[in-house]
């Protein structure tokens, strides 16, 4: 009977040791899990940059009237033309030359 009791005690001691080992491993794994979740969130943010942009009237056949107000405001304020340093108008004297040729033809 003592052998059975001592075997049960040994089994219980081993079970408690295993429980402590598993608790320590659990803490380590939870830390790794949290680190991987943070890394996953950062990678998702970086991936958003490369994903397909939202469709609007600039990059699809959606009419401008169906755009959101925010997209319309951005489209109105953003111009693709770059301002030039040149004065507006044609070449100096070009208009007068045209009339001079017209007078000679008459």
Phi, psi for residue 92 in degrees, rounded to 5: -65, 130
Could you tell me the residue ranges of all domains in the chain? 2-80
Reduced to 3 states, what is the DSSP secondary structure of residue 35?
helix
The span from the CA of 32 to the CA of 23, in Å, is: 14
pLDDT-above-70 percentage for the chain: 82
What digits encode the pLDDT tens for the residues 37-83? 999 999 999 998 888 777 777 788 888 888 888 888 877 776 777 88
| Per-residue model confidence (pLDDT) at position 49 | 81
Reduced to 3 states, what is the DSSP secondary structure of residue 88?
coil
| End-to-end C-alpha distance for the chain, whole angstroms | 138
């Amino acid at each position: 009977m003592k052998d059975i009791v001592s075997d049960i005690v040994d089994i219980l001691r081993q079970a408690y040791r295993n429980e402590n080992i598993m608790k320590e491993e659990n803490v380590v794994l939870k830390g790794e899990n949290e680190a991987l979740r943070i890394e996953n969130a950062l990678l998702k943010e970086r991936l958003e940059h490369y994903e397909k942009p939202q469709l609007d009237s600039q990059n699809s056949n959606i009419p401008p009237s169906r755009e959101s107000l925010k997209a319309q405001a951005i489209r109105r304020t953003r111009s693709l033309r770059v301002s030039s340093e040149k004065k507006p108008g044609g070449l100096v004297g070009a208009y007068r030359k045209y009339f001079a040729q017209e007078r000679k033809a008459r």
